[in-house]
Structure formats: structure tokens, C-alpha cells
Amino acid sequence: MPTTLTSLMAAAAAAWMRKSRRLRPAATGLAAGLGLALLPSLAAAAESAPVGSPRVTATLIANRDAVAPGETVRVALVQKLAPHWHSYWQNPGDSGEPTRIEWTLPPGAEAGPIAWPVPKAIRVEPLVNFGFEGTVVLPVEITVPRNARPGDRFPISARATWLVCEKVCIPEEGFFALDLPVAASGIGDEAATRTIDAALAALPKPAGFRGRLSGEGAQLELALPGLPAGARDVRFFPVSDSLIEHAAGQSLVPGPVPTLTLARSGSFALAGAEVNGVLTYDDNGTPRALELVAEIDPALAASAPAAAAGSAPAPQPVAIPLPAPGSDLTLLAALALAFAGGLVLNLMPCVLPVLFIKALGFAQLAHRSRSETREQGLLFLLGVLASFCLLAALVIGLGALGTQVGWGFQLQSPPLVIALAVVMVLIGLNLMGAYEIGGSVTGAGDGLARRGGRLGALMTGVLAVLVATPCTAPFMGAAMGYAVTQAAPVALAVFLALGLGFALPVVALAFAPGLLRLLPKPGRWMLVLKQAFAFPMFATAIWLIWVAAVQTGPQGVLAALVAVLAAGFAVWILGVTRGPAGRRLAGLALAAAALSAAGWFTVETAVPGPAGEARAGDTQPWSPERVAALQAQGKPVFVNFTAAWCITCLANERVALSRQEVKDAFARLGVTYLKGDWTNRDARIAQALAEQGRAGVPLYLVYPGRKDAAPETLPQLLTPDTIVAAAERAASAR
């Protein structure tokens, strides 16, 4: 049977299947059998698989079961929202993000814009959002290329992102696919056609008249010469989000030319000689919605800044100067803060096992060789300082090339995050006794050759710094911010002070045998404790793999698991090939091949994906323009610069930022919560950190609701009381 005829018959069978609900079960089965026999996937060709969450169920539908060359197919994203949840119109109002659809179509096919339904004003005190509740249908027209050939396929793929909110907001996304056959003439889908046609029929109608926007001061007047007499509940929804105060009331002044009074936006801007929007009103009990175009009074246009057409003012390149050397800290203060921050780093869960195991080794040596204990303490110090010097060189070198980086910058590279996760897994396996490198901890200084013991002490210092890099301790933020703005010798001195503080506890143990003798004598307890410390390492590896997933999406998890598998194979093969030189060489070659293949796969796979911007529930994405606009509107702003790989940031999220009393205070005081996510590299966030004298996250700023007012910087360790008090100060300073 020719392919074209097959497609036509299959499409007809699929259409008949939907009608067959009124037929006898036998007829229904016959239709189903015919559809499956001819083309198994076509029965659902006009509707994608649903994408669901507790808040939204979304599908993509088409009004055709088969398309014809050159015709326009109507598709629609259908969102069914749970009660009390809402999504957003093209101008979301005071907060939110509109639904966006990215299309992947065959060559020559084109997709038009979303035909937006009539919005409603949704009050979420003290804000008003423009959006939708219930079932939302977002139609789009797609043109089939004229050179499409009957018998071919016409695949449609879409990635949709939307924000759904109740008292909190959750960003969601879905991937949808339709695979329609090309036929000589299109074959309609009745159910989808009814849904899409009903949505198109409910769209705003052309007004048939033009409005006129004028005003001065804080008030705007929208003249509506064609508004029917007796119209009530009149509201104007502008497409531009920089025209009016969305939460303010709108009152109709009757007269020969009815006029709608609006509150002028604090970030008022205009694009072109007219404004567009939707006008809704009640006409004797019948709701109406009109597409309105309003001319702008020349006097108003002359007094307003320009904006990008149909949108808020276009973001301009922001040149944020670095702080002048010495503007915030003296060198002595920076060195003291760095030293204190290095001390606190020792308490981080991924660092403590490494240092404690080293201390156990010292305990063994302290009973036999005081001189060797001191020597290994100094070698540990050397490994730490060498590692911090290397980090300083990287930061200074990249800064000289014009790249702003700070502490933890390497964790913005997904392959390096995955590599660090592999290191954590290997350390954990070693602590569990799955393999040994050189000898056991309990045999340090006794079962190892003197050369091996020295190398082990040196490399323990390097390893301790490596596993500490995901952590940011209190006192470090200001010191690192100071370091990256100074000349190379000063920056190096700050990094060395950090390293000295970090190494001090272990070096002190090496030179204080009295402290070591407080520990019990070596025995089985050391082995048990060593194995127990494997679990914080495994937990850190899990967290790092999660960071990679946040940065790159599911492919990051795959890359991390492949890397862990390859590393485990390499360790195993090196263990089983011990013995003659030839066998060792073969094992080394196999291990190198496995690690090389895994490294290539990780670099190729772990690239940033669509894993989301602004994942926080009730936050909005940060930008300098957004801060300025909110301050101009008299709204206080809380800014959280964070990253998924920052342990201190996550701790603050759990113990303070997610607390209900903080959310209630923000709602009561009208504080807008913005989040700057530095999980992946972002030059604008790096500049903003530098402006505040910081080189890493976390950084918390509270801006008063007053134009151009400077922010208050909060401590790196937060409490709910600290946040609420700062928010109250910002609100009272309007």
C-alpha cells in the first residue's frame, strides 16, 4: 500500500476512533484495531503526552490529524491549573513570568506568537498579578512548508516554561511532541478543533475605536470614546509592564468621552507613539474584552523615557566599578578575617573526616616518634599553603585577563564538580577499606616507608584544600572580596593567611603531643571511626552530583554516575593487577583508558542545560534593573546571591530564609525577594558581588524602598530575627 494512502487511512481511522464512543463496543474495537494496524502512534498524533505536577497538567494539541503542504495548523498549549493556582499573561503584572514556548520544527516551518487569552487581575496582597486560573488554552499557528511531500512526517516539538503561583511560586517546564503525517489534504481533529476554536472565539475583539493616553504627575488618563454607555467594572491591561501601577485602582469618569483614571508606574516608560493592551468591562451583565490601541498625548510622550516596544525599558549594559583598593578593609583586617575563615573551614563536613583521620595518624606516631609527627605536620602545612598559592594564582591570573572570579569559582564548571564528586566517592571507599593507598591509617609511620609517609602528609594537605573548596566559612566573604581587588602580592598574602588558619589545628596537634595523648591508644576504635567517616564523604558526593544536576539537567547526573563507575573500575583494576611489572603496566593502561573515556564523556555531556533559572519558590530573578525599578516604586528589596554548590547558602535557606515568620514579614512589609543564582557563571552577578566588595557567595542585601538608596549588607550566617529586623528597617526608610 503506498505510504500516502497508509497515512490517509490511518488518520481517518484515528478520527473515527474518537467518534466511536457512541458506537457499539465491537465497532470501537474494530476502529482501534484498524488504527493500530496502520499506524500505531497516530491515534494520539493530535495530542502530546501530558506533563503533570500537583499544580498543573499541560498538553499540546493540534487541530489536524494529518497536515497538507502549505496549510496553517493551529496548535495550543493547554494548561489545567489546580484550584487557587494561577499562571501569567504576557504582562504578568507586579510579579511573575509569562509562559514561553520554544519550538523545534522541520525546515521551512514557522510558528507564530501566542494568541493570549483575556487576563484577569489576581490580587496577592500587596500585589496584583495579571494571569489565568482554571484551564488555560494558548493557541499558536504553525505554517507547514509548501514543499512538504505527502507521505512524509511533520514533527512538532516544543519546550514550554511557565510560572505557577499560589502563595508561593513554582517554575515548571514541559517537553511536548506531536508527529503528524503529511497528506494531500488536511484531516481535522474534532475534539482539538473545538477546544482551539473556543479559545480563539474568546480572544479580545478589535475595539473599533482608538483611545488616547494623557496625564501629568502620578496620574494617567485613558480616554475611551467608543466605550458603551453603562459599562461597568472597566479595567485596562497594558502589554507594557512599565506603564501603570498594577495594584492601584482604576476608576471610570463618565462623560461625553469616558475616561479611565490610572496610576502612573514608578518606572514609567513609553515605546513609540501608542500603547497596546486589553480593555475589559461588563456590558449589562455580559463580559467584554477589546484589543485597544491608544494614542499617546505629545506632552506625555515628551516627558517620558523611551522603552523597548511593548515591554519594560530594555536592559542596558551595566558598568559596575570594582571597589577602590582599601575602600572597605585594611590589609590587617583582611588578613585577620581570612585567618579566622580558614580556621572555621576545618569544621565543614567534607573536610573534618580528612583532618580527623590525619589526627589519628598523629596519635599513632605520637606514641613512637615525636620528630616524625612534627615533620608530617610541617609537610601537611606545606601541602595546604601550596594549594592555596595555586588557587591564588588562578584567581589573580583570571582577574588579569578580565574575568571576575572568587572563592568556589571552579564549582561553576560542571565537569570539575563531577570530578570533585568522584574524589569524594574514592575517599569514602578508601575509608571503608575497599582499597588501600600505600597503607592503612593505623600503620602510618610504621607500615609505610619514610618516603611514603612524607608524601602522604603532603598530599593530605592538598586533599584537604580540595575538599574544602565547595565551602564558604564566616569571615571569608569580605576577605576574599578584598583580595580579588588588590595587587597580586596583597591577594597572595590574603590567600596564605586563609591557608595558615586552615592548617593551624593539624599543625598544632603535630607540635602538641600532650593533646594527642588525650586520645585513647591505637586500636580497633580507630578502624571503626575511620569507616564511619566515609559517610560524610558519600553525602558530599551526593550533594555535588545534585549540584551538577542543577547546572546541567539529567545529563549531568548521567555523566557523574559514569565518572564514578570509571573511577571505581580504575581502582579495582589497579588492585587486581599488582605483581609483575608487565601486569602492573597493563592495569595502569586499562585504568588510564577508563578514566580518559569517562573524562571525555563528562566534558561532552555535562554542559549547562535548561535546568532552570530562579528555582526558589517565592522569589524572582535578580537583575540591577529590577532592583532599581522596585526601589523607584517605593518597595523594599531583599537580594539573595547564592549558588547550589554553596553549603553556607543552603544552610541559610533551611534555617532562616524558608521560615514562615520571614515569609510573613516580607508579605506584611511589602518586601520583594530577588535571587541571584551563581550556580553557573554569570558575569553580572560577579560584577554585583565585586561592587559590594565580595568575591563569592553568600551575599545578602536589603534595599530600602527609596530610589538609589544604598543596601544594608547582612551577615553570612542568617537567623530569622536578623532578616526580619533588616526588612523592618528597610520598610521604615521609604
| CATH number of the domain within which 156 lies | 2.60.40.1250
Of 392, 474, 413, 468, give the one whose Cα is nearest residue 700: 474
DSSP-derived 3-state class of residue 269: coil
Q: How far apart are CA 520 and CA 526, in angstroms?
A: 9
Tell me what pLDDT residue 452 has.
Answer: 42
For residues 644-680, one letter each, b for 16 or more C-beta atoms within 10 angstroms of the residue's C-beta and e for the rest, the string is: bbbbbbbebbeebbebeebbebbeebbbbbbbbbbbb
Q: Is residue 568 part of a domain?
A: no
Residue 588 lies in a domain: no
- Nearest-angstrom CA–CA distance, 523 and 509: 19
Which residue reads 479611565 in cell numbers? Answer: 260
Which strands, in side-by-side order, build the sheet including 72-81? Answer: 51-52, 56-62, 72-81, 135-143, 110-111
Sequential DSSP letters for 432-483? HTSS-SSS-GGGTTTTS-HHHHHHHHHHHHHHHHHHHTT---TTHHHHHHHH
Sequence-separated (6 or more) residues with CB below 8 Å from residue 436: 430
Chain-wide mean pLDDT for the chain? 76
Question: 515, 533, 551 — which closes off a domain?
Answer: 533
Q: Is 85 part of any domain?
A: yes
pLDDT digits (tens, 9 = 90+) for 544-578: 787 777 767 777 787 888 888 888 888 888 878 87
Last residue of a domain, one of 174, 203, 232: 203
CATH at residue 700 = 3.40.30.10
Q: Please indicate, yes or no, whether residues 369 and 295 belong to a single structural domain of this protein.
A: no
Exposure string of 196-225, with b = 16+ CB inside 10 Å and e = fewer, is beebeeeebeebeeebbbbbeeeebbbbbe
449 in any annotated domain? yes
**How confident is the model over 215-242, as pLDDT tens digits?**
887 889 999 998 988 899 999 999 988 8
Same domain, 32 and 142: no
512 plus 392 within the same structural domain: yes
Neighbours of 471 (CB within 10 A): 22
Contact 214, 95 (CB under 8 A): no
Domain co-membership, 190 together with 55: yes
Q: How far apart are CA 634 and CA 611, in angstroms?
A: 33
The residue assigned the cell 520554544 is 102
Sort strands 56-62 and 72-81 into parallel, antiparallel or unpaired: antiparallel
**Domain end residue (candidates: 501, 533, 565):** 533
Alpha-carbon distance 98 to 119, whole Å?
Answer: 11
What gap in Å lies between CA 601 and CA 226, rounded to an integer?
65
Q: 638 with 660, same domain?
A: yes
Domain membership of residue 40 (yes or no) is yes
Q: Is the pTM of this model over 0.85?
A: no
Same domain, 392 and 484: yes
Average pLDDT per run of 10 along the chain, which is 734 residues long? 40 41 38 38 66 89 92 95 92 86 94 95 82 95 93 92 78 89 86 92 92 88 90 93 88 90 85 88 91 90 59 34 42 79 70 65 60 78 82 67 52 73 80 60 33 65 69 56 67 81 79 65 68 78 78 74 84 80 81 81 60 50 91 92 75 82 90 88 82 82 90 89 92 81
Of the candidates 250, 244, 246, 258, the residue with the CA atom closest to the CA atom of residue 304: 244
Residue that the C-alpha cell 569580605 belongs to: 478
Do 188 and 262 fall within a single domain? no
Look at residue 603 and tell me if it is in a domain. no
Residue 343 lies in a domain: yes
Clarify whether residues 365 and 443 are in a common domain: yes
643: in domain: yes
In the numeric block, which cell numbers belong to residue 179? 508527529
What are the C-alpha distances in Å from 691 to residues 141, 481, 702?
A: 46, 9, 15
DSSP SS3 for 364: helix
**CA atoms in the 13 A half-sphere facing the CB of 697:** 31
pLDDT at site 33: 39
Residue (of 533, 672, 566, 675) closest to 612 by Cα position = 675
d(CA 123, CA 137): 22
Handedness of CA 10, 11, 17, 22 (dihedral sign): negative
pLDDT value of position 94: 80
Q: Are residues 253 and 187 in the same domain?
A: no
Q: Are residues 188 and 229 in the same domain?
A: no
How far are the Cα atoms of 483, 543, 560 from residue 416, in angstroms, in the given order? 23, 14, 10
Pair (361, 483) in one structural domain = yes
Quote the pLDDT of residue 21: 36
Amino acid at 260: L
352 and 471 part of one domain: yes
Give Cα separations from 17 to 65, 73, 184, 187 (angstroms).
12, 21, 21, 14
Sign of CA dihedral 41, 42, 48, 50: negative
Domain count within the chain: 5
**Domain range holding 37?**
1-44
